[in-house]
Amino acid sequence: MRVLVFYEKLIRGHIVKEIAVFTDKTCALHDPGAGHPEQIARLSAVVTALQKPEFKNIDWHRSTPEATTAQLEYAHDPDYVHTILRAAPKTGYRMLDSDTILSPHSIEAALHAAGAVVAAVDHVLTGKVEKAFCAVRPPGHHAEKDKAMGFCIFSNAAIGAWHAVKAHGLKRVAIVDFDVHHGNGTENIVDGHAEFLYASTHQYPFYPGTGAAVDTGRLGNIVNVPLQIGDGSAAFRRAFTRVILPALDKFKPELMIISAGFDAHQNDPLAQINLIETDYAWVTTELRHIADEYSHSHIVSVLEGGYNLEGLASSAAAHVAALMKP
């Protein structure tokens, strides 16, 4: 089967690499200040982990375009976009809330982070590559239509999902979020829109306070599966096996977007869930099976949280390796 697929791609005149990684040097210029957990070193930890020989087939995109205002406004209110584009301080820092802090290059970084997801969606949906991982920061899933919060400025995954609908005409896009925090921003943006399914596992009750199981959205296309303090592999896998995978099976997504946060790792300093690298490999493989079934194997994964540098790097590597596996 693998050989047949290879020849099919050759016959089409080019060999499609199976995974592309999108990143941009400006994502390392966003500096929320000394001691902030969403630190610059997160990006290099992930990118360095993906240099190992097993990742030699990655198609690297080390420069991404900025998301356009029109693309940002798929997900965010125009007034918010207008204000935030002018919000970076000339020097020093500017606090948007107690933990969302801008430095002079933060908006540039956020624009390239969102732009990376848009470029990844374009590459995947035009057949240039089967899967993509966006190694970007600042993260996005807490940013609501009209509010930056929780280290997030633009809702990167939601912008990519809307782009798949608006620019490529997709009718069903799933966003699966296994970051340890509930993606209140993504939920806020896609709630009420039947084109999307948003499914999340997260520690609960916990920051940002949203994500109760009873919150299923105005159209019933929000799937929240809370995890309790101290939960680990078994509860996480049960949440997917019993709730999220069946919901995806029913939804039949034409594109799978993953909000890939790695702060449910057992060593993460911000939360109390005990996942290990093999859990991230497991969930990625399960999501691949859904994508193989319904979305031509198309997956765009987007980095969200993950604050223990070693746990982040090894978990992201396990995730990307599982995306690449034959």
Which residue has the CB atom at the shortest distance from Zn ion?
Answer: 305
Residue 76 Cβ vs Zn ion, minimum distance, rounded to whole Å: 20
Please report whether residue 305 would count as binding Zn ion according to CB under 5 A: yes
In the bound state with Zn ion, the residue whose beta carbon lies nearer, of 179 and 277, is 179
Burial call 214-253: b when 16+ CB within 10 Å, e when fewer: eeebeeebbbbbbbeeebeeebbbebbeebbbebbeebeb
In the bound state with Zn ion, the residue whose beta carbon lies nearer, of 280 and 294, is 280
Interface segment toward Zn ion; rule CB under 5 A; list 4-12, 41-49, 114-122, 263-271: 263-271
Residue 11 Cβ vs Zn ion, minimum distance, rounded to whole Å: 43
Please report whether residue 261 would count as binding Zn ion according to CB under 5 A: yes
Interface segment toward Zn ion; rule CB under 5 A; list 9-17, 38-46, 153-161, 261-269: 261-269
Q: For residues 147 and 139, what is the distance between their CA atoms, to the nearest angstrom?
A: 14
For 34, 102, 158, the CA distances from 96, given in Å and listed in that order, are 17, 7, 21
Residue 220 in 3-state DSSP? coil
Establish whether 202 is a catalytic residue: no
Active-site annotation holder among 142, 163, 182, 202: 142
Residue 272 Cβ vs Zn ion, minimum distance, rounded to whole Å: 13
In the bound state with Zn ion, the residue whose beta carbon lies nearer, of 38 and 130, is 38
Query: In whole angstroms, what separates CA 270 from the centre of its chain?
Result: 18
Query: In whole angstroms, what separates CA 2 from the centre of its chain?
Result: 28
Are 3 and 11 spatial neighbours (Cβ–Cβ below 8 Å)? no
Among 144, 177, 263, 268, binds Zn ion (CB under 5 A): 263
Among 30, 76, 112, 181, binds Zn ion (CB under 5 A): 181
Q: For residues 66 and 74, what is the distance between their CA atoms, to the nearest angstrom?
A: 15
Residue 8 Cβ vs Zn ion, minimum distance, rounded to whole Å: 39
Among 24, 179, 254, 268, binds Zn ion (CB under 5 A): 179
Query: In whole angstroms, what separates CA 198 from the centre of its chain?
Result: 12
Dmax over CA atoms of the chain, in Å, equals 57
Interface segment toward Zn ion; rule CB under 5 A; list 13-21, 109-117, 176-184, 279-287: 176-184
In the bound state with Zn ion, the residue whose beta carbon lies nearer, of 157 and 291, is 157
Please report whether residue 18 would count as binding Zn ion according to CB under 5 A: no
Reference 224, options 202, 242, 209; nearest CA is 202
| Site size toward Zn ion, by CB under 5 A | 5
CB under 8 Å to 131, separation ≥6 — which residues? 18, 19, 20, 124, 291, 297, 298, 299, 300, 301, 323, 324
For tokens 């799937």, the residue is 223
In the bound state with Zn ion, the residue whose beta carbon lies nearer, of 140 and 253, is 140
Residue 261 Cβ vs Zn ion, minimum distance, rounded to whole Å: 4
Residue 1 Cβ vs Zn ion, minimum distance, rounded to whole Å: 37
Are 204 and 212 spatial neighbours (Cβ–Cβ below 8 Å)? yes
Q: Which residues bind Zn ion (CB under 5 A)?
A: 179, 181, 261, 263, 305
Supply the residues annotated as catalytic: 142
